[in-house]
Amino acid sequence: MSTMEELTTKEKPQWCPGCGNFSLHMALKGALAELGIPREKTVICTGIGCASKSNHYINVYGYESLHGRSIPVAAGIKLANHELTIIAESGDGDGYGIGSAHFLHSFRRNIDMTYIIHDNGVYGLTTGQASPMSQKGMKTKSTPHGNLETQFNPLAVAIATGGTFVARVFAGDIMYMKDIFKQAILHKGFAFVDVLQPCVSFNKLNTYQWWQQRIYKLDNTYESKDKSAAFVKALEETTSNYEKIPIGVFYKEERPTYESEAPQLKEKPLVKHELAIDAIEKAIDEFI
Ligand SMILES: Cc1ncc(C[n+]2csc(CCOP(=O)(O)OP(=O)(O)O)c2C)c(N)n1
Ligand code: SF4
Ligand SMILES: [Mg+2]
């Protein structure tokens, strides 16, 4: 069990004042503290970007990997020791751009971990080029005459490719975000949360106010086990021309995790197996 204070590192966050990463970060720390997950059993893996600095400021194990590679590193750690709580964090460029192949196949695999995307609609760290989440027509450093490409729809892709926990939250609502993070961490399987995260320095279109005017929460009448309904909800942002943007848990199902079905991992975590040195040496000898 860790308190918010214990989860805080001495490093001062380097994000711009007003950045949505601050509240996302507080919500994640709050979720870990309230769930009572021990720090020494938690690992946060990131890629590269403003989002990916997250694990500098949270006092758990951390691994800052390569741009787009937070998922494979996180998956590797989970498969080595599935007793750990694993969280991967990425920016939208990191997760939906260069890391998109990992994103797609994670839903099929269903390794038990949480994947949080800081979805700010730009490449923030490299000072504001268009990302897969930049809206069509949006002017950025790399699209001075307006973005020609349509926006990626991560929720629809996640549902279509076998996601077992698919959610979206808004960085302007910290309590709601914390609640959904807790649900995602507790979910047995690959839990994905897209966070609408204002970048106050480089995304002048999708501001806090812009999101507040458009988002609404899925209410108690919404059935998150209905895949067809979830798909329709995920498409609502496009069908409404970005006038109505739902947030909440879009889809949830129980399905065996990858590690629960892998014969080598059923009995105990890989790290607790004896090292079969003789067999390793024999295998190496065959290649010499
Ligand atoms: C392989 C590789 N390509 C490009 C880069 C340069 N780079 C660093 S961060 C970044 C964009 C980050 O954008 P995003 O993932 O959306 O995160 P944000 O900074 O917006 O949080 C890029 C292109 C890199 N570090 N590695
Ligand atoms: S550039 Fe944008 S995303 Fe990066 S820290 Fe500043 S406001 Fe946040
Ligand atoms: Mg980004």
**Residue nearest atom 11 of ligand 1, based on CA coordinates:** 123
**Tokens representing residue 66 in the block:** 């390569």
Distant-in-sequence, close-in-space partners of 56: CB < 8 Å, separation ≥ 6: 9, 11, 13, 62, 64
pLDDT at 113: 98
Question: What is the CB-side half-sphere exposure of residue 124 using CA atoms within 13 A?
Answer: 27
* H helix or E strand, kind and range, residue 118: strand 113-119
**Residue nearest atom 4 of ligand 1, based on CA coordinates:** 67
Whether the Cβ atoms of residue 30 and residue 62 lie closer than 8 Å to each other: no
Domain annotation covers residue 275: no
**Nearest one of 92, 50, 51, 205 to 140, comparing CA atoms:** 205
**Residue 276 above 90 pLDDT?**
no
Q: Tokens 């990858």 correspond to what residue?
A: 258
| Percent residues over pLDDT 70 in the chain | 100
> pLDDT tens for residues 278-288?
888 999 999 98
- What three-state secondary structure class fits 130? strand
Q: State the distance from the centre of ligand 1 to the C-alpha of 282, rounded, in angstroms.
A: 42
Whether the Cβ atoms of residue 167 and residue 184 lie closer than 8 Å to each other: yes
Q: State the distance from the centre of ligand 1 to the C-alpha of 98, rounded, in angstroms.
A: 9
What CATH number has the domain bearing residue 225?
A: 3.40.50.970
Domain annotation covers residue 45: yes
Task: Tell me the average pLDDT across 98-127.
Answer: 98
Domain annotation covers residue 129: yes
Residues touching ligand 1 (Cβ under 6 Å) are 48-51, 67, 91-94, 118, 120, 122-126, 131
Domain annotation covers residue 124: yes
> pLDDT tens for residues 176-214?
999 999 999 999 999 999 999 999 999 999 999 999 999
Q: State the distance from the centre of ligand 2 to the C-alpha of 174, rounded, in angstroms.
A: 18
Whether the Cβ atoms of residue 28 and residue 55 lie closer than 8 Å to each other: no
**Nearest one of 256, 232, 254 to 244, comparing CA atoms:** 232
Q: Which atom of ligand 2 is nearest to the CA of 16?
A: 6
Whether the Cβ atoms of residue 224 and residue 250 lie closer than 8 Å to each other: yes
> pLDDT tens for residues 101-115?
999 999 999 999 999
Average pLDDT in the chain: 96
Distant-in-sequence, close-in-space partners of 209: CB < 8 Å, separation ≥ 6: none
> pLDDT tens for residues 249-265?
999 999 999 999 999 89
Q: How far apart are CA 85 and CA 182, in angstroms?
A: 12
pLDDT at 279: 87
Domain annotation covers residue 270: no
Q: How many domains does the chain have?
A: 1
Domain annotation covers residue 12: no
> pLDDT tens for residues 220-238?
999 999 999 999 999 999 9
Q: How confident is the model at residue 2 (pLDDT cuts 50, 70, 90)?
A: confident
Q: Around ion ligand 3, which residues have CB less than 5 A away?
A: 91-93, 120, 124
pLDDT at 111: 98
Domain annotation covers residue 281: no
Best mutation site among 64, 66, 67 for ligand 1 pocket (most ligand atoms within 8 Å of CB):
67
**Residue nearest atom 13 of ligand 1, based on CA coordinates:** 123
Task: Tell me the average pLDDT across 122-135.
Answer: 98
Q: Which domain covers residue 124, as residue numbers?
A: 21-258
**Ligand 2 proximity of 19 Cβ (cutoff 6 Å):** yes
**Ligand 2 proximity of 202 Cβ (cutoff 6 Å):** yes
Higher pLDDT, 274 or 203: 203
**Residue 154 above 80 pLDDT?**
yes
> pLDDT tens for residues 3-59?
999 999 999 999 999 999 999 999 999 999 999 999 999 999 999 999 999 999 999
Domain annotation covers residue 65: yes
Task: Tell me the average pLDDT across 86-102.
Answer: 98
